[in-house]
Structures are given as C-alpha cells and as structure tokens.
Structure 1
Amino acid sequence: MSHLSTLDAGFLQAEDADRHVSLAIGGLAVIQGPTPDYDAVLSSLAGRIRGCPRFGQRLLLHPLDLGAPEWVDDPDFDLGRHIRRTALPRPGDDHELFGLIADLMSRRLDRDRPLWEIWVIEGLAEGKWAILTKLHHCMADGIAATHVLAGLSDSGISESFATDLHPSGPESASAAQGGSGRNPLSPVVMMGGLWKASTAATAGFARVAQGAAEIAAGLLRPGTSSLNGPIGDLRRYSGARVSRADIDQVCRKFDVTINDVALAAITESYRTMLIRRGERPRPDSLRTLVPVSVRSTRALSKTDNRVSLMLPYLPVHQADPIQRLRMVHSRLKQTKAGGQTQAGNLFMSITNLIPFPLTAWAFRLLMRLPQRGVVTVATNVPGPRQPMEIMGRRVVGLYPVPPIAMQLRTAVAMLSYADDFFFGVLADYDVVADADQLARGIEVAIARLVEISKGRRKPRRRGALTLVV
C-alpha cells in the first residue's frame, strides 16, 4: 500500500469542498488516421497500461480522515470501464472536439474505481482521431501525467523536455571545499566555510520567510476581477498551437525564456478579454497561480504531485507588448528570487510530518473559505521532444487540459511537444463564454511578438502613448 502525500490528498479535499468541481487533468492526443479497430486499440493499450501499477489501484479512504488515503489493488479491475469509445458527427472540427473534451472533463471520476479514463474519439475531420487521457490530480501532476501519456506511445517513454529541469541540489565537493586547491582541513578554510554556510543559511531563511509572507498576502488580499467566483457544473474548452521556432525567435531577440513569452501572450489575451467584458485592466487584476515543478529528472516516472507555486501579478494593465513581455520577465525573476517557491515547498514538506488528521481537517476548512486573491492558473508542462506514434499513427497534436477549482473560473495549461507549443484553456461555461477567444488571443499575441522581433513592426509614439504598428 502507498499513502497519499498531503499535497496529493489536498486535491481530493479541494474537490470535496465544491460539488461543481472535477479535479481531473487531461491530455488530448490528436492522431493521423485511419482510426484502428476499437478491440485492437483496447488490446494495444492494455499491454502498455500494465507498465503503470497505479492504473490498477483505487483509493482506500479512512473514516474521519484518521489516516491518509492509500492506493490499494482493485480486485474488481475491469479495463473496459476505463477505456471508453465515442465519436463526433463526421466530419468533426476543432470546435466540436473541444466541446466534447469540455463535457468529458466536467464529469467526476468514480472514487470506487481507479481514478483514470481513456477516451478513444472517432469522427474527426481529415481522417483523424483522438485519445483523451484523464487522470485525477491526486494521482499525478502535469509532468507525471504527460509521462504516463507518452508511455502509451509505440516507442514508450522517450526523451522529454522535462530533462531540461535543473532542480537545485547540494554543491559539489570541490565547491564545498573552496575549489582553489587549498587544504580543506586547514583552520582558515574551515572557519571560512562555516562563515559562508552560516551566512547562506541566514539569507535562505530570510528568503523563505519573505516568500511565505508574499504567498499569504496573495491569498488573503481580495482581487477585483469577475474571473474569480463560484463555479458551475459545465465547462468550455479550447486549444491553441504555435511554433516553438517562433517562440525561440522572440526569446533570442529579447533575452527572455519560453515561459516568459507564453505568459506574456496569455497576459495580452486576458487583457483583451477583460476590456471586452467592460472591465478596466488594473495592475492587480490578474494575480496568477503559477505551479513550479520541484521534480527531479530521476522522479519523472513517479505518479504523484511534486510542485510548489508562485503568485505573480501578470501585467494586464500594460498596453505595449514589448513592455509587457519585459515586465513578465522581471516579475517572474523577482518572484523566484523572493522565495515563494522555496516557501511553498517547505510548507508541504512540513505538513507531511504532521499527523494526517490535523492537516486534513485544516485543509478542508481552508478549502471552504472564499478564495478571492488569485484569479487564474497558468501552468507549463514539458512534453516529449520527439513526435509520438500510437499504433503506427502519428500524433500530430498534443493539448493539455487543466482543471478549474477554488473559485478560479479559468485555467491555462501549456505543453511543449516536438516542434510546437500547445495551450489548453478550460473555463466555467456560464461565466466565461469566450474561452475560444482567449485561445485565439494567445496565438495573435505570439504572432505579434514574432513580427516585432523580426523588425517588421516598429513602435512609434503618438502623444503620451506608445503604439505598435
């Protein structure tokens, strides 16, 4: 048996706190046809699913949260209950496909069975078909879920962009010993090392304290956007796709990261949406939860959650796209330096040492309080570097599907796959009618940055405003 961590169990408690919420995460693989026979798909996926023991396990819950939930083997496991088949009216376009995804993701997974589903979707235009992989968030974070999806491909789990992650670790022996060829046991070197260690520890504690204070302030300070509030039963979903080469072009020109460019594009699209909704974009309009992976490359195959968080304000008030990009870059850099990620990671580590009933009851209480400080979620998941094939058919698109919960009415997930970068937008059906416009706005924003980076558009001044033409 394997116990859930405090973070894993927290996703169950967040779902319990709101009957309208389904905390499943998804990955949508669009595949070049023809569609295989369903029995052949079932047989092929069955062999690959056996490689992940968690797929055959269900949750064992303890009364009154007296113990952490545990993964146990399901004696009644039936693959046919988890691999489903559906179809769009032919020829199904992206709008119909995304509508089906929204409907499937809005339904809660049955906790009496293993917490996953795979949907084989037929009837797409141009002879394509699709596979939706749906996992409960208590089972895996975005990186782990993408790793599982890649494991369903013909070649199995190959090289991933997740290998670019560089989790912090202890200094090398040579660095710890001064790295200058001096005797590490000499009194001078030992005293100098102790002084440096003491100084570093003091600075580290101060940074974590600052990060913890910033997280608390971000959660407690009320926001001003209609994108925060109660969530209904239904969802809207849309996807966007851009070239990694285009994003790399912007990165080289402005010395920023891929994540900076993606978040700047998301910021512009939210700005456009707020204006369209009659709201004035303000500096504090879009405090965003940005999950940060603390997963090492050695733990990519672990089906669990290993994330911390940052809570930056995305600059929706800034009209100029270049200034907006630079502000996103500087704010993320400042937030990382401020210790929010370290504070979040330390908090989760400490809660794992506390008896589970205490943390469970505290989490359940917190989840039921109205959360008005954070407005949306933007998460970046590294995907496979090489194109995948499933049953000899090429995967031509790979869209992430994030959940929404805790009064966050929209969420955007990003996923890098081969030569492209994919966005998935999930939104509350009743409150956010423009999920597709939000996705299209992301594509437009990146196209604008690419044009500027190539010198095809130059900023010019008109009065006190800087315009891009």
Structure 2
Amino acid sequence: MASITRMSGFDAGFLYMETPSMHMHTLKIAILDPSTDNTFDNLIEKMTERLRLLPPMRRRVVQVPFRLNHPVLVTQRTIDPKRHFFHHDIGGEGTMRDLEKLIGEICSTPLDRSVPLWELHLCEGLPDGKVAIVGKIHHALADGLAANAMLANVMDVSSTDVRPSVRGEKHDGVDDPSDSLLIRHALRDGARQILDFPRLIANTFRGVRAVFRYRRAMDGRVPTPVKDAPRTSFNGPLTHRRTFATVTIPLAELKRARAARTEIEGLTLNDVVLGVTSGALRMWLAAHDEHPRSSLLAGVPVGLDANDIEPRLMGNNVSNLFTTLATDIDDPVERLRKISITTRHAKAINQRLGSALMDWSQFAPPAPFAAAVRAYSRMRGARFHPAAFNAIVSNVPGPRERVKIAGSQLSDVFSVGPLTEGIGLNVTVWSYIDHMNFSLLACPDLLPDVEELAALFPAALAELIGEPEPEELTAPPVAHDATADQETA
C-alpha cells in the first residue's frame, strides 16, 4: 500500500475525540502585505502546485470496516478546490478585530471527513490592502512542529540560515482500497501491535519507576491533573462556538523580563510566557470576581522529536506536561519563580516518561473510544468534575526572518490549537522575526470576552518587568529584518 498509510493510535485519537462541540483542528493565520499576487485564483494555483510538498493535504481518512484497527490515510490523485478553498471579504477597512471575529466563525465548524482534512480561507478587506490566509488543518494530520515544517515548504526564502524545504511525496495518488484489503491489513497490523506489547509494558514500567524516583528526590511538587485543578467559569462543557483574539509583544520585552529576574535560577523564555499568561488570567479573574481555591494549572504540549532528525511534515509526536500558573501568589517575582521551578520538574518527569503513555494509544479500540467520547460530550460530563487542567498554553518558534508565501511578503503569522472538553481556553504563542504573537481561542459560552483577556497580556508583562505598562505594547510592533532567537519548552 505505497500511497496508503496506517494512522498511529495517537494520531487517530484526535479523530476519536472529535464531537459536535469539540473540533480537533488547528489554525495557522498568515497576514500578507499588499501584492497583485494576493488573489483567490492565485492562492489556489500556487498552493495546488505545492501539494506534493504538503503530504497531509493530499491524504483522506478512510475507516477500516468494523473498526478493526485505526483508519488509514489514502493519498488522493486530485484535489477539488471547491472543497478546500474559501473566499471572504471583511469590507475594505476591516480591523484586526474584525478578522479575529471571522476567524472565530471559521473555527466554529468541523472539517469535512469525506475529503483531506484541511481548508484555506482567503480573507480580504484588511487595512492598507493586506490579506489574511487562514489555514485550518486537523490535529490528526499534524502537530505544531509538523505544521511549522509544512509552512517552511510553502515559503520563498533566500537566506542560508533558514532550513531548506523538507522532501515531499514523489508518488501519485491511488484509488480507495477495497474492504477486503483494508481488513487483511488491519488484522496484519493488529498482530504486529500485539507482538510489540511486551516492549511497551517494559518501557512503561521503567518510565513510571523513574518518575517515582524523581518525585521522591525532588525539592517541591508537580501538580496532579484533575486533583489539583480548581473550578473556574471557563472550565466546563464546550459548545460548538469559538472566539479568537490576539496580542503581539516584542520579543525584546519578553527577554527583558527574563533578564530583570536574574535571581531566578534557570529561568527560560517559556517560563516568562507562562508568567505573562498567569498575570493576565489573575487580572481577568479579579475583574470577574472569581477566586479559585488554588492556583490554575496549565497543560503545555512538548515536542518529542530529536533536534538532529529531519523535521516531520505530518503526524504527532508530542506529550503534555502539567505545571502550575501560580495564580494564587500575589508577588509577580515569586509567582514567576514558582512557575519556573515547577515547570523544570514537570519537564524532567516528562522526559523520564518519554513516549510510553503516548504509545499506549496504539491499543485504544477505535469504536468504543469514539463512542465513549461522544457519550461524555452529550451528557455534558465536564459539569461533574474539575477539568484535568484549566488552560492549554503552547509555545512554538516560527520564522526568524522575513519570508514570502506564494510570492507575497509575510507580514505576520498566528497559530492556535483546539479546545478540549472541559477546557475553554487555549493560548498558543508563535514567534515571527522580533516579536511573539499570543493567540487566544475560547468557547464564548464559557469565556465570553476573550478579547478583553488578550488585552491584559501587556500589563501582565509590565508587572513582571517591574515597570508601568509601556504604551507601545498596546499595538503590534513593526517587524524588521532582524534575527531573533527563541527558547521553547
């Protein structure tokens, strides 16, 4: 099956988790400078030309009869543009807030499972002739690192400092496999999975033992999901609706916040991102007269790829660590210290577990798993217990220099991941050149004023620096041709 690939249990899990109220797609938003190339027809033509460099965008999910194993991905021979490309006009002088509202609407509908799981939306009508391209791709096909690699494959760059494009596919598509072929290969792959079971048990045992040893020796503690997560108004059953907001902060200001706290040993830029998110949430909770019984917890996706391997163009290889946001601590320095120490321990625990827990998803039975998730969603089960954690906070490095997409200059880029049941807020950070873009996705039936929460991030940063909020932080910075480094979790 040269053009047919079995999905891993972890990738397929994002399909099983999807319900009418929990959409498992991610968004990538590119803002392009004015250009004669910024037309709907040109977008279709340029992207269609590069589909071989974007394997997930040619592959359609095909279920195995009787759900005997995880689905397969079949490479299609052709792509129907009408099923994937969409055109919007915000209205000539549309503001960024107008675009954010449209993005929320785009995010509020699930992807069509009968075609490859992606859409591209061209949004015209921004000030100064700029346009936005909103890419919508299912998490089952790509995590943040794979999406970053795909973005690199559609960029036009000349600098030798930028990683070259990843190899694309060389083969053509195929017709859908027959039911008999799918069943035979499902049973064959299932037998291979069973043979791998002893190794998985051994790896899990070693990982769990290493975690217990580390926990006994460490100074402090790492919070436990569900048990240590307080209830908040934005933790509860999701509806299908989504809202979106952004705030842009200069990378130099985030680095200045780190440099201003030399008394915190091992402080990273990612700790500062968590600290800024914590400060903004504290202000939002205070404004809404909410007083959780303990600190909010964050789920932080962490890539497991080795640095020396060729970047992936598809699939997921991530784990999640759980850390405190220290929202119960008034002093911003002590809050940041607690976040830094706890996150360092959480990373160490995560490294000891490795991919063991993720590998167990390979043995998840497709039909019962999906049925259980749908039943939980219909029953609004998130009402009955605290969420696993309170918010998702992700930090992914983006392009470090100016690039072009389909011949047009990339002015800015934003990204955000999905919400999961019980967790109504996702904060995703992507850098571009010399600034970092915080993108917030929320369920408005749980968190109705996500734009007001986003507006609090500059004040939270100023609090960490120990200075009054700079006026220039209230507006996005003007990007320039400078190279900036970024640390990730």
Q: TM-score range by the shorter chain?
A: 0.7 to 0.9
Task: Tell me how far apart the structure 1 counterparts of residues 276 and 342 of structure 2 sit (CA, whole Å).
Answer: 15
Go from structure 1 to structure 2 and tell me whether the alpha carbon gap of 1:202 and 1:69 turns closer, same or farther (over 3 Å shift): closer
Go from structure 1 to structure 2 and tell me whether the alpha carbon gap of 1:66 and 1:375 turns closer, same or farther (over 3 Å shift): same
Task: Tell me how far apart the structure 1 counterparts of residues 463 and 56 of structure 2 sit (CA, whole Å).
Answer: 44
One-letter amino acid matched to 2:347: K
One-letter amino acid matched to 2:461: I
Range with bigger deviation, 275-284 or 150-159: 150-159
One-letter amino acid matched to 1:147: A
Q: What is the match of residue 21 of structure 2?
A: 20
Q: What is the match of residue 287 of structure 1?
A: 297
TM-score by length of 2: 0.77
Q: What is the match of residue 171 of structure 2?
A: none
Q: What is the match of residue 70 of structure 1?
A: 72
Cα deviation per residue 1:397-417 (whole Å; 9 max; x = unaligned)?
111122112211111101122
Q: What is the match of residue 111 of structure 1?
A: 113
Query: Once the 2 structures are TM-superposed, how far is the Cα of residue 424 of structure 1 from its aligned partner?
Result: 0.5
Go from structure 1 to structure 2 and tell me whether the alpha carbon gap of 1:210 and 1:421 turns closer, same or farther (over 3 Å shift): farther
One-letter amino acid matched to 1:4: M
Contact 2:55–2:314 (8 Å) recurs in 1? no
Q: What is the match of residue 260 of structure 1?
A: 271
Match of 2:253 among 246, 249, 265: 246
**Secondary structure in structure 1 of the residue aligned to 2:125:** strand
Task: Tell me how far apart the structure 1 counterparts of residues 457 and 351 of structure 2 sit (CA, whole Å).
Answer: 26
Contact 1:26–1:402 (8 Å) recurs in 2? yes
Task: Tell me how far apart the structure 1 counterparts of residues 240 and 26 of structure 2 sit (CA, whole Å).
Answer: 16
Q: What is the match of residue 206 of structure 1?
A: 209
Task: Tell me how far apart the structure 2 counterparts of residues 327 and 212 of structure 1 sit (CA, whole Å).
Answer: 17
Query: Once the 2 structures are TM-superposed, how far is the Cα of residue 444 of structure 1 from its aligned partner?
Result: 2.0
**Secondary structure in structure 2 of the residue aligned to 1:218:** coil
Contact 1:402–1:424 (8 Å) recurs in 2? no
TM-score by length of 1: 0.80
Q: What is the match of residue 5 of structure 1?
A: 8
Contact 2:156–2:404 (8 Å) recurs in 1? yes
Task: Tell me how far apart the structure 2 counterparts of residues 280 and 66 of structure 1 sit (CA, whole Å).
Answer: 48
Task: Tell me how far apart the structure 1 counterparts of residues 127 and 43 of structure 2 sit (CA, whole Å).
Answer: 20
Query: Once the 2 structures are TM-superposed, how far is the Cα of residue 149 of structure 1 from its aligned partner?
Result: 2.3
Cα deviation per residue 1:273-329 (whole Å; 9 max; x = unaligned)?
111221114433x12111111022324233011101111121111222222211111
Q: What is the match of residue 31 of structure 1?
A: 32
Match of 2:353 among 318, 343, 357: 343
Q: What is the match of residue 368 of structure 2?
A: 361
One-letter amino acid matched to 2:417: P
Task: Tell me how far apart the structure 2 counterparts of residues 212 and 365 of structure 1 sit (CA, whole Å).
Answer: 33
Q: Report whether the alignment pairs 1:313 with 2:324.
A: yes
Q: Report whether the alignment pairs 1:408 with 2:404.
A: no
One-letter amino acid matched to 1:386: E
Contact 1:60–1:72 (8 Å) recurs in 2? yes
Which runs of 5 or more structure 2 residues have no equivalent in the other structure?
164-203, 470-489
Cα deviation per residue 1:183-223 (whole Å; 9 max; x = unaligned)?
xxxxxxxxxxxxxxxxxx99965333478999994145663
Task: Tell me how far apart the structure 2 counterparts of residues 302 and 34 of structure 1 sit (CA, whole Å).
Answer: 28
Q: What is the match of residue 122 of structure 2?
A: 120
Q: What is the match of residue 86 of structure 2?
A: 84
Q: What is the match of residue 333 of structure 1?
A: 344
Cα deviation per residue 1:49-96 (whole Å; 9 max; x = unaligned)?
221222111001124421111100235631342122211012010110
Task: Tell me how far apart the structure 2 counterparts of residues 133 and 212 of structure 1 sit (CA, whole Å).
Answer: 41
Contact 1:151–1:157 (8 Å) recurs in 2? no
Task: Tell me how far apart the structure 2 counterparts of residues 159 and 382 of structure 1 sit (CA, whole Å).
Answer: 15
Query: Once the 2 structures are TM-superposed, how far is the Cα of residue 442 of structure 1 from its aligned partner?
Result: 1.4
Task: Tell me how far apart the structure 1 counterparts of residues 205 and 96 of structure 2 sit (CA, whole Å).
Answer: 53
Query: Once the 2 structures are TM-superposed, how far is the Cα of residue 104 of structure 1 from its aligned partner?
Result: 0.3
Range with bigger deviation, 270-279 or 440-449: 440-449
Query: Once the 2 structures are TM-superposed, how far is the Cα of residue 331 of structure 1 from its aligned partner?
Result: 1.2
Task: Tell me how far apart the structure 1 counterparts of residues 160 and 101 of structure 2 sit (CA, whole Å).
Answer: 31
Task: Tell me how far apart the structure 1 counterparts of residues 468 and 98 of structure 2 sit (CA, whole Å).
Answer: 35
Task: Tell me how far apart the structure 1 counterparts of residues 158 and 95 of structure 2 sit (CA, whole Å).
Answer: 29
Q: What is the match of residue 418 of structure 1?
A: 433
Match of 2:288 among 271, 277, 283: 277
Q: Report whether the alignment pairs 1:54 with 2:56.
A: yes
In terms of Rg, which structure is larger?
A: 1
Task: Tell me how far apart the structure 2 counterparts of residues 344 and 202 of structure 1 sit (CA, whole Å).
Answer: 12
Go from structure 1 to structure 2 and tell me whether the alpha carbon gap of 1:319 and 1:100 turns closer, same or farther (over 3 Å shift): same
Contact 2:61–2:114 (8 Å) recurs in 1? yes
Contact 2:300–2:320 (8 Å) recurs in 1? yes
Task: Tell me how far apart the structure 2 counterparts of residues 427 and 123 of structure 1 sit (CA, whole Å).
Answer: 25
Cα deviation per residue 1:314-354 (whole Å; 9 max; x = unaligned)?
111122222221111111012223x14543621112443x3
Query: Once the 2 structures are TM-superposed, how far is the Cα of residue 366 of structure 1 from its aligned partner?
Result: 6.3
**Secondary structure in structure 2 of the residue aligned to 1:90:** coil
**Number of residue-to-residue matches in the alignment:** 408
Q: What is the match of residue 178 of structure 1?
A: none
Go from structure 1 to structure 2 and tell me whether the alpha carbon gap of 1:383 and 1:332 turns closer, same or farther (over 3 Å shift): same
Go from structure 1 to structure 2 and tell me whether the alpha carbon gap of 1:280 and 1:344 turns closer, same or farther (over 3 Å shift): farther
Task: Tell me how far apart the structure 1 counterparts of residues 347 and 324 of structure 2 sit (CA, whole Å).
Answer: 13
Contact 1:308–1:341 (8 Å) recurs in 2? no
Task: Tell me how far apart the structure 2 counterparts of residues 3 and 379 of structure 1 sit (CA, whole Å).
Answer: 28
Match of 2:241 among 230, 234, 247: 234
Query: Once the 2 structures are TM-superposed, how far is the Cα of residue 364 of structure 1 from its aligned partner?
Result: 5.2
Task: Tell me how far apart the structure 2 counterparts of residues 257 and 46 of structure 1 sit (CA, whole Å).
Answer: 40
Task: Tell me how far apart the structure 2 counterparts of residues 303 and 394 of structure 1 sit (CA, whole Å).
Answer: 25
Task: Tell me how far apart the structure 1 counterparts of residues 274 and 304 of structure 2 sit (CA, whole Å).
Answer: 20
**Secondary structure in structure 2 of the residue aligned to 1:148:** helix
Contact 2:276–2:461 (8 Å) recurs in 1? yes
Contact 2:393–2:427 (8 Å) recurs in 1? yes
Contact 2:222–2:342 (8 Å) recurs in 1? no
Which runs of 5 or more structure 1 residues have no equivalent in the other structure?
162-200, 455-469
Go from structure 1 to structure 2 and tell me whether the alpha carbon gap of 1:391 and 1:10 turns closer, same or farther (over 3 Å shift): closer
Range with bigger deviation, 33-42 or 47-56: 33-42
**Secondary structure in structure 1 of the residue aligned to 2:392:** strand
